[in-house]
Amino acid sequence: MTTPSSIDKPGQWEDGQGRAATPETSGTPETTGTQGRAGTRDTAGTQESSGTPETTGTQGRAGTRDTAVPSGPQAQKSPRARPNPRLWAAASGIAAGGAGIAAGELTAGLLSPLVSPVTALGGAVIDAVPPGVKDLAVQLFGTADKIVLIASIGIVAGLLAALAGVLERRRTGWGLTMAGVAGAAGLTAVVTRAQAGPQAALAPIVAAIVTMLLLRALVRRLATWLPPGAARARQGDDPAPLARRSFLNALAGTSLAAAVAGTVTAVLTRATTVASGFRESMTLPEPTTPTQAIPAGASLSVDGISPLVTPNADFYRIDTALTVPAIDPPAWKLKVTGMVENEVELDFATLLSKPMTERHITIACVSNNVGGDLIGNALWLGWPVRELLAMARPKAGADMVLSTSNDGWTASTPLEALTDNRDAMLAVGMNGEPLPLEHGFPVRMIVPGLYGFVSATKWLTELKVTRFADDTAYWTPRGWSDHGPIKTQSRIDVPRSGRTVQSGTVQFGGVAWAQHRGVSRVELRLNRGPWKQATLAGGISTDTWYQWQLGVELSPGDYEVQVRATDSTGQPQTEDKAPVAPDGATGYHTINVKVG
């Protein structure tokens, strides 16, 4: 095809075959670019004809050519997409909401580090969900459940903020009302948290005010650029370039302010967390009794089996705290109250001066499913709880100690379990170092033989001697038992379920536990056949788990493998399946392997 410069003479052009052709015009060349009658082209500077040449383009319908982009000075710019007011309104809501949340979190960081609007809302969600939902979250996300919850809160907040922006553009005051309602919800969540002081209420109020002011300002600028109800601009037109620039600058500035506030909050929170610095400089006291040694033969050399002592970095964490409480150890105090002859208050320095014991103890979460990994064994350093309670002298009739965490969480522990000969302690050390922050620093409770939900209170602040008939712990009204003795359980660590292994001698291995009773035997069976006794390592004590192993000659095929343990009293692990609620799961851990 040719350009106008290739026309040999007026009224002729090449027809694409190299031959001269004469147009059959139905009109004269148009220069206005307006639509003619049927069969003509709406192109400035070209011929309006049913058979005339176009300056550029491809073959259209018979006898015509469709115009693409003209060359030369008459070329048209690519059309710009028509702005969508709803999308910009939604963006305004998200920016305003983000800035408001960041302002609220910054206020909380300055005035109330223990409680912020986001963590308070997350805590309210945790409080409200039924046990089944909580268990499902733990099963799906494990110890990352808190990250998922906070991310979910962020997503929901973003969607609501976007909706507020759209509504505010549609009718003044609708979006502001949504922001006000969200602020009221945040305020309610904050003031109902156990660790919230009077100043904590300012954070959600600041968040709501900042959100409402910025939302109104952004929507007004958007209305100047794209007035509601006005006729839409044609594609490629910019109805108000100055107003558009003003709105976009305001939107970008709001987003930047939100990012800066969030960064400052993160830095401020780290700067005020003196617990971390204190912990790093802290030297643990030496135990007054010899450290519990690991007996020879307690650990087996089986690849893939859980280590006898769980490293701190691998130890499970399950609690209701969305953010790790930042406790200044010199300001920490533990109170013993309730049905006692003598109320006691203990500070951290006094606690560290007490005669310490160091024991290996395995603790487990009640949410641990059969074969699950919410269990771990560590070397704990602490002062026996029974000695503190002896100072307080519990009154007759008391049968429970309600322990309280810095974040308001509570656990109900039988008084007997804290005063008998077991090594229940106020722990300050874990595997030779101060408690990690996420595991309860500066002080937590460790009670052998009980699930954590009734014993292992982190960030401990109070022990209230009371009765089960008079007080209830955090999880009790949510469908869980007020007692929680750990049930005899066993687990196959190797091989993993679903794996293919070579025929011949297949090594099976794992752990078994029956805290404060001990394990006397572990057995394995294949395809529901007879039980085969495994080699059971000696273990450290009755308060820890035990490793086991068994080599079995297997030919190619598919196998179902089950394990069971028997405690030192001769009571075998039950085969009956039960969920984790209300007091711990039961059943045999079962895996499937393919032997090739």
Tokens of 140: 């799906």
Residue 272 has pLDDT above 90, yes or no: no
Cα separation, 74 vs 44, in Å, equals 8
* pLDDT confidence of residue 115: 84
Residue 454 has pLDDT above 60, yes or no: yes
Mean pLDDT within 367-387: 97
* pLDDT confidence of residue 26: 39
pLDDT one-digit tens code per residue, 524-546: 999 999 999 999 999 999 999 99
pLDDT one-digit tens code per residue, 397-441: 999 999 999 988 999 999 999 999 999 999 999 999 999 999 999
Residue 351 has pLDDT above 70, yes or no: yes
Cα separation, 521 vs 532, in Å, equals 11
What mean pLDDT, rounded, does the chain reach?
85
Interhelix angle 202-225/117-128, rounded to 10 degrees, is: 110
* pLDDT confidence of residue 230: 54
- Phi, psi (degrees; rounded to nearest 5) at 16: 90, -10
Identify the residue whose tokens are 């009571």. Answer: 571
Mean pLDDT within 308-324: 92
* pLDDT confidence of residue 79: 56
* pLDDT confidence of residue 274: 61
pLDDT one-digit tens code per residue, 159-216: 999 999 999 999 999 999 999 999 999 999 999 887 788 899 999 999 999 999 999 9
Share of the chain above pLDDT 90, in %: 66
Residue 110 has pLDDT above 50, yes or no: yes
Mean pLDDT within 386-390: 98
Could you give the dihedral angle defined by the CA atoms of residues 388, 394, 397 and 401, in that order, rounded to the nearest 10 degrees? Answer: -30
CB within 8 Å of 596: residues ≥ 6 apart: 500, 501, 502, 503, 556
* pLDDT confidence of residue 141: 82
pTM: 0.73
Could you tell me where the beta strands, DSSP code E, fall in 40-190? 58-59, 65-66
Ranking 66-70, 132-136, 338-342 by mean pLDDT, the lowest is 66-70
Cα separation, 546 vs 522, in Å, equals 10
Tokens of 138: 């733990």
Residue 353: count other Cβ atoms within 10 Å of its Cβ: 10
* pLDDT confidence of residue 119: 87
pLDDT one-digit tens code per residue, 490-520: 999 999 999 999 999 999 999 999 999 999 9
Ranking 59-68, 193-202, 338-347, 485-494 by mean pLDDT, the lowest is 59-68
